């Protein structure tokens, strides 16, 4: 039952935080040179046979969000391999249908996903709801051509952002940072209960990061050592973060991420003005070298980054990961950073209903931090609880 329990634990016991924070207790299997397929690792896989086993869990989380249900809609919890519930059988058929639609109509690209039809409900609506959604006509010019709004260029928006943070010169003067913060981290079924914690975040250029999170009951650590994102769970076991999420952790550890935006993307385009928590923001869509689209939202007034949406591939559709940046303040070095950061879900590829928040209390720029601080620790699994003491002899 190890595998099945493992899957659940990931969805319920998320301890950790992102961007300004990262991750999780026991999220992923230890590294193995040969990745097992789902069929090899689980008991009753009939459709997703060739899926790498460690990608089953993120796909299951996606199904929850896609259909607006919990695991129990398709499974009897802890008897994951059983086929007792009808929706599980239907879901298998739907997976086959979805894959065939994509193969036969979209050259195998993942254009149709569960969400295309389900939109967060188990019962897709087949009939138009009346009155029909009001059609919004864009403004037209004198020749009845739709008028394209004019936006500043992506370069201008990013330059303004860097200025708003304090400018490149001021940013580069800082090479390390120590942050003390309070956090809420996702716990409970589906990660929907937010528990308070305290955290320290150690950052050093170019891309070293260590998060130490204390929940009052336990301390967990996670970080990026320059090469790999890892997490140490409450039981002392150190494991790399989810393979698919590694690029997200790597980029969030970039000490000069703001200065590197233009280099990160192969294409950057300003697509719209949208509201982000009551602020108007330019939506700038970028494409990463691996074709992952990301959207950055910059406040049209202050120029500051308000939100970043990325998405990670799963077999049933891309899993969105959203980070919001709020309450920008000067750290004391003439450089602004967001003092509130929220991530939804709490970790990339996590339960889609979970969230995590960090509130910075104190920042120390150019704190002396030795590189050794960021070395991935050895696993120190704690011994299992001692067997009950024998009854005292009479």
CA dist 260 and 207 (Å) reads 12
Distances (CA, A) of 5 to 1, 16, 206: 6, 20, 37
358 binds ligand HEC per the rule CB under 6 A? no
For the record, the structure tokens of 286 come out as: 């970028």
Report the nearest approach of ligand HEC to the CB of residue 229 (Å).
22
Distances (CA, A) of 38 to 3, 47, 80, 362: 10, 10, 13, 45
Place of tokens 């009001």: 134
Give the Cβ contact number of residue 307 at 10 Å: 21
Would you say 341 and 334 are in contact if contact means Cβ atoms under 8 Å apart?
no
Report the nearest approach of ligand HEC to the CB of residue 14 (Å).
12
For the record, the structure tokens of 242 come out as: 């989810």
276 binds ligand HEC per the rule CB under 6 A? no
13 binds ligand HEC per the rule CB under 6 A? no
Query: How many CA atoms does the CB half-sphere of 116 hold within 13 Å?
Result: 15
CA dist 297 and 275 (Å) reads 9
Give the Cβ contact number of residue 114 at 10 Å: 20
Report the nearest approach of ligand HEC to the CB of residue 100 (Å).
10
Which of 219, 224, 223 is CA-nearest to residue 235?
219
Report the nearest approach of ligand HEC to the CB of residue 97 (Å).
6
123 binds ligand HEC per the rule CB under 6 A? yes
Report the nearest approach of ligand HEC to the CB of residue 339 (Å).
33
CA dist 263 and 246 (Å) reads 19
Q: Which of residues 36-55 bind ligand HEC (CB under 6 A)?
A: 42-48
Q: b or e along 15-38 (b: 16 or more beta carbons within 10 Å of the residue's beta carbon)?
A: bbbbbbbbbbbbbbbeeeeeeebb
- Closest to ligand HEC by CB, 89 or 218: 89
From 112-120, 217-225, 246-254, 304-312, span contacting ligand HEC (CB under 6 A) = 112-120
Report the nearest approach of ligand HEC to the CB of residue 104 (Å).
13
27 binds ligand HEC per the rule CB under 6 A? no
> x/- contact string, 70-109, with ligand HEC (CB under 6 A)?
-x-xxx----xx-----xx-xxx-xx--x-----------
From 118-126, 146-154, 290-298, 300-308, span contacting ligand HEC (CB under 6 A) = 118-126
- Closest to ligand HEC by CB, 81 or 155: 81
From 3-11, 177-185, 302-310, 336-344, span contacting ligand HEC (CB under 6 A) = 3-11
- Closest to ligand HEC by CB, 60 or 210: 60
Query: How many CA atoms does the CB half-sphere of 239 hold within 13 Å?
Result: 20
Report the nearest approach of ligand HEC to the CB of residue 111 (Å).
10
Report the nearest approach of ligand HEC to the CB of residue 246 (Å).
21
Report the nearest approach of ligand HEC to the CB of residue 312 (Å).
16
Q: Which of residues 295-324 bind ligand HEC (CB under 6 A)?
A: 316
Total residues in contact with ligand HEC, by rule CB under 6 A: 40
Which of 27, 89, 81, 67 is CA-nearest to residue 316?
67
CA dist 336 and 358 (Å) reads 16
What residues make contact with ligand HEC under the rule CB under 6 A?
Answer: 4, 7-8, 11, 42-48, 60-61, 63-64, 67, 69, 71, 73-75, 80-81, 87-88, 90-92, 94-95, 98, 112, 114, 116-118, 122-124, 316
């Amino acid at each position: 039952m190890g595998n099945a329990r493992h899957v659940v634990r990931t969805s319920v016991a998320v301890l950790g935080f992102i961007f300004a924070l990262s991750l999780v207790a026991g999220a992923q299997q230890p590294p193995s040179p040969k990745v097992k397929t789902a069929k090899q690792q689980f008991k009753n896989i009939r459709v997703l046979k060739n899926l790498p086993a460690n990608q089953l869990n993120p796909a299951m989380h996606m199904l929850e969000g896609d259909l607006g249900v919990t695991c129990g809609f398709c499974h009897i919890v802890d008897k994951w391999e059983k086929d007792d519930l009808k929706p599980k059988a239907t879901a298998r058929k739907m997976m086959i249908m979805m894959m065939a639609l994509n193969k036969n109509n979209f050259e195998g690209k993942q254009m149709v996903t569960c969400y295309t039809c389900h939109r967060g409900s188990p019962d897709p609506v087949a009939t138009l709801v009346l009155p029909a959604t009001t059609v919004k006509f864009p403004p037209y010019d004198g020749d009845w051509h739709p008028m394209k709004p004019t936006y500043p260029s992506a370069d201008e928006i990013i330059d303004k952002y860097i200025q708003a943070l304090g400018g490149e010169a001021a940013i580069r003067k800082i090479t390390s940072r120590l942050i003390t913060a309070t956090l809420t981290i996702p716990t409970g079924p589906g990660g929907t209960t937010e528990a308070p914690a305290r955290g320290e975040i150690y950052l050093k250029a170019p891309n070293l990061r260590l998060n130490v999170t204390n929940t009052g009951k336990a301390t967990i650590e996670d970080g990026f050592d320059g090469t790999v994102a890892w997490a140490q769970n409450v039981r002392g076991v150190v494991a790399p973060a989810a393979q698919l999420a590694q690029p997200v952790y790597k980029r969030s550890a970039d000490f000069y991420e703001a200065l590197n935006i233009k280099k990160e993307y192969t294409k950057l385009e300003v697509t719209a003005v949208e509201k982000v928590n009551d602020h108007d923001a330019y939506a700038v869509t970028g494409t990463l070298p691996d074709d992952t689209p990301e959207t950055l939202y910059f406040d049209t007034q202050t120029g500051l980054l308000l939100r970043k949406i990325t998405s990670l591939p799963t077999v049933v559709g891309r899993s969105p990961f959203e980070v919001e940046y709020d309450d920008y303040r000067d750290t004391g070095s003439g450089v602004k950073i967001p003092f509130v950061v929220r991530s939804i879900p709490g970790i990339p590829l996590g339960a889609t209903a979970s969230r995590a928040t960090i509130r910075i209390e104190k920042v120390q720029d150019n704190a002396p931090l030795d590189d050794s601080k960021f070395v991935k620790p050895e696993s120190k699994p704690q011994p299992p609880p001692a067997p009950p003491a024998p009854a005292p002899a009479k």
